[in-house]
Amino acid sequence: MTAAASAAVTPALAPWLTRYPQHVDWNETFTPTTVPTLLDNTVAKYPTKTATSFLGATLTYGEIGRMTDKAAKGLQGLGVTKGTKVGLFLPNCPTFIVYYFAILKAGGTVVNFNPLYTVDELAHQIADSDTEMMITLDLKVLFDKVEALLANGALKKAVVGSFPALLPATKSVLFKLFKGRELARVQASAHASKVVAESALMDNDGKFTPTAIDPLTDVAVLQYTGGTTGVPKGAMLTHANLTVNVQQSVAWTRNLTRTGSEKILGILPFFHVFAMSGIMNFGVAEAYEIIIMPRFVLDDTMKLIDKSKPTIMPGVPTIFSAIMNHKDAKKLDLRSLKICLSGGAPLPAEVKKGFEALTGAQVVEAYGLSETSPGATVNPLDGSARAGSIGQPLPGTQISIREVGRPEQEVPLGQPGEICIKGPQVMKGYYKKPAETAETFVGDYFRTGDVGYMDPEGFIYIVDRIKDMIICSGFKVYPRHLEEKIYEHPAVEEVTVIGIKDKYRGEAPKAFIKLKAGQTASVEDIRKHLETRLSKIEMPSEIEFRTELPKTMIGKLSKKELKAEAASQPSQP
């Protein structure tokens, strides 16, 4: 399994080869390996290099390596063996990194869980994934849910680490003193017999038993996603999927970043595939200092950039927009940033332009999904990035645009269709769901559910999600296009467009807008702004201003809540 597997591909079949970044070889050969090898190689070469910086506490790669080995042996002592599913129910913190690699070293499979999930949502994913054990912290917000899962029998066992132990000594004492109510009394739990303290688990010599792993077939991570149908499914990501995707990213940034010398800011949640691969795995493989935030808080993020001087920051458009519009944006030093990778949602051209002017960093849009580990396309870092494009295929990755509803039929360049992906980073399939797996593939190509087109030089442009498309009087209206035009209004900070019921047209667009602080605009102002930018059929039938718009855990704007709200309303006359 290498990126050179499709050496017969020609520019006629792969337009991106006519204008590919000079420092990147699309035919480069990659060697699949196990995910823990990423850490082991860095520990061997950079044992004294700072690996993590977390709320003032730092750990070197040597220390992370030793902790991981101890955790791996402790997990094996609890029965973790090849294929055992172990959940991570954690905020961003060094514990996540240690146990992610420890589970894999023990032979197990990582299952990522969203800390904001309800007990019922967690129980469903535990059952679907066959998770046997959960790793968490002694924060009440986490342990209370884990305790409920132990109580109702959904979960067999939990390993609980100490949050105060992750902090510098003084901060740890102060946290216990002033925020002790935020800590769970784990040992007093009625289900303490099913709980293992991390301190006891790691009380060993770290000499775990290596497990034979086939990178091409053995699953490293079950990454849950709504996919193209909205039904949560576990994407089976093999060791090869994940390690090759890291190598593809390294190839793309070669000559522009320095192994062992960069600082990457971890503000996206590690349980999400974007941060898991694009921050954690990539950062570890390249021996970067990973500056970890437990969660994104705007004011804290601004101060952290000013103080810690990160050079790389993966993010979502709403984060770049929030930083750009912060009241202290021009007072703080944000110019340490060199490369900002934007993913998870469309990057408005106005946000890209404004953030680059503020920081001097390159903001390039990338694209991927849980099912592709996640990276599939990215804009060049040689200055030729194209606004509005999700870039070109990563090395060894093929993109085919297929007719919507007829995925076996490829469409001509420039014509919209469903984006389909083939490459070494594409998942093995959905866990225990062969029918859904078969449905989402056409031959070797993964069907993304996104509509887009490719230009003559292989740059790809997303039009919209198939499921978000609005059929208005028989015409296809794409919310993303409307959102781009609304973003061009100087008072708009965020916008989401959905389809609402309309008695005359069937569906009609509705725009939800959040204005920038201190800015004003009326419905009439927005309509006047759009008059020369949109056709009459595209013009929103309703425009509603809100102080906040719903977002997902990763921080991207979410249409789900607004659609549910609209669905409960009567049709518009």
Of 443, 465, 487, the residue at which a domain comes to its end is 465
Q: Which residue has the higher pLDDT, 147 or 317?
A: 147
**Average pLDDT, stretch 31-47?**
98
Q: How many domains does the chain have?
A: 3
Residues 393 and 541 placed together within one structural domain of the fold: no
pLDDT given for residue 227 in this prediction: 47
**Average pLDDT, stretch 5-34?**
84
SS3 135: strand
SS3 455: coil
**Average pLDDT, stretch 3-24?**
75
Residue 106: HSE in the Cβ half-sphere, 13 Å Cα cutoff: 28
Of 213, 242, 264, the residue at which a domain comes to its end is 213
* Structure confidence at residue 10 as a pLDDT band (50, 70, 90): low
Residue 567 has pLDDT above 90, yes or no: no
Whether residue 457 is contained in a domain is answered as yes
Residues 76 and 22 placed together within one structural domain of the fold: no
Q: Which run of H or E residues covers position 101?
A: helix 94-105
Whether residue 36 is contained in a domain is answered as no
Residues 438 and 498 placed together within one structural domain of the fold: no
Residue 7 has pLDDT above 80, yes or no: no
Residues 326 and 439 placed together within one structural domain of the fold: yes
Question: Is residue 364 a contact partner of residue 341, using CB atoms and an 8 Å limit?
Answer: yes
pLDDT given for residue 5 in this prediction: 43
Residues 413 and 449 placed together within one structural domain of the fold: yes
For position 558, which CATH number holds? Answer: 3.30.300.30
Using left for φ > 0, alpha for ψ between -120 and 50, and beta otherwise, residue 432 falls in left
Computed over every residue of the chain, the mean pLDDT equals 93
Question: Is residue 406 a contact partner of residue 425, using CB atoms and an 8 Å limit?
Answer: no
Q: Which run of H or E residues covers position 469?
A: none
Residues 412 and 341 placed together within one structural domain of the fold: yes
Residue 77 has pLDDT above 90, yes or no: yes
pLDDT given for residue 8 in this prediction: 53
Q: What is the pLDDT of residues 343-366, one digit of tens each?
A: 987 888 889 999 999 999 999 999
Residue 150 CA to residue 81 CA, distance in Å, equals 21
Whether residue 266 is contained in a domain is answered as yes
Whether residue 334 is contained in a domain is answered as yes
Could you identify the residue written with the tokens 């490293």?
220
Q: How far is CA 338 from CA 247, 276, 289, 328, 355, in A?
A: 20, 21, 15, 20, 12
Beta bridge mates, 234: 224
Q: What is the pLDDT of residues 85-128, one digit of tens each?
A: 999 999 999 999 999 999 999 999 999 999 988 899 899 999 99
Residues 434 and 492 placed together within one structural domain of the fold: no
Q: Alpha-carbon Rg of the chain, whole angstroms?
A: 24
Q: What is the pLDDT of residues 272-320, one digit of tens each?
A: 999 999 999 999 999 999 999 999 999 999 999 999 999 999 999 989 9
- Range with the poorest average pLDDT among 240-249, 437-446, 464-473: 464-473
pLDDT given for residue 47 in this prediction: 98
Domain that holds residue 175: 61-213
Q: Which residue has the higher pLDDT, 348 or 137?
A: 137
Could you identify the residue written with the tokens 């449905």?
439
* Structure confidence at residue 1 as a pLDDT band (50, 70, 90): very low
Residue 496 has pLDDT above 90, yes or no: yes
* Structure confidence at residue 552 as a pLDDT band (50, 70, 90): confident
DSSP at 163: S
Could you identify the residue written with the tokens 């990147």?
24
Pair type for strands 157-161 and 195-197: parallel
Q: What is the pLDDT of residues 395-431, one digit of tens each?
A: 999 999 999 999 999 999 999 999 999 999 999 999 9
SS3 554: coil
* Structure confidence at residue 4 as a pLDDT band (50, 70, 90): very low
Query: Of 568, 522, 569, 563, which Cα lies nearest the Cα of 545?
Result: 522
Query: Of 327, 251, 308, which Cα lies nearest the Cα of 282?
Result: 251
Q: Which residue has the higher pLDDT, 537 or 54?
A: 54
For position 79, which CATH number holds? Answer: 3.40.50.980
pLDDT given for residue 466 in this prediction: 83
Say what the alpha-carbon torsion angle 246, 248, 250, 255 is, to the nearest 10 degrees: 180
- pLDDT > 70 fraction of the chain, expressed in percent and rounded: 96
Residue 2 has pLDDT above 50, yes or no: no
Whether residue 385 is contained in a domain is answered as yes
Residues 342 and 452 placed together within one structural domain of the fold: yes
Q: What is the pLDDT of residues 177-235, one digit of tens each?
A: 999 999 999 999 999 999 999 999 999 999 999 999 999 999 999 999 864 445 689 99
CB 320: neighbour CB atoms within 10 A? 24
Residues 231 and 293 placed together within one structural domain of the fold: yes
Residues 339 and 375 placed together within one structural domain of the fold: yes
For position 269, which CATH number holds? Answer: 3.40.50.12780
CB 170: neighbour CB atoms within 10 A? 9
pLDDT given for residue 347 in this prediction: 87
Whether residue 249 is contained in a domain is answered as yes
Token readout for 252 is: 């793309």
Whether residue 67 is contained in a domain is answered as yes
Residue 325 CA to residue 302 CA, distance in Å, equals 11
pLDDT given for residue 346 in this prediction: 81
SS3 assignment for 198-259: HHHHCCCCCCCCCCCCCCCCCEEEEEEECCCCCCCEEEEEEHHHHHHHHHHHHHHHCCCCCC
pLDDT given for residue 423 in this prediction: 97
Residues 460 and 534 placed together within one structural domain of the fold: no
Token readout for 430 is: 């959905």
CB 496: neighbour CB atoms within 10 A? 24
pLDDT given for residue 116 in this prediction: 87
Query: Of 513, 519, 514, 512, which Cα lies nearest the Cα of 490?
Result: 519
Pair type for strands 219-225 and 233-238: antiparallel
Residue 6 has pLDDT above 80, yes or no: no
* Structure confidence at residue 387 as a pLDDT band (50, 70, 90): confident
Residues 248 and 382 placed together within one structural domain of the fold: yes
Whether residue 39 is contained in a domain is answered as no
Of 158, 191, 213, the residue at which a domain comes to its end is 213
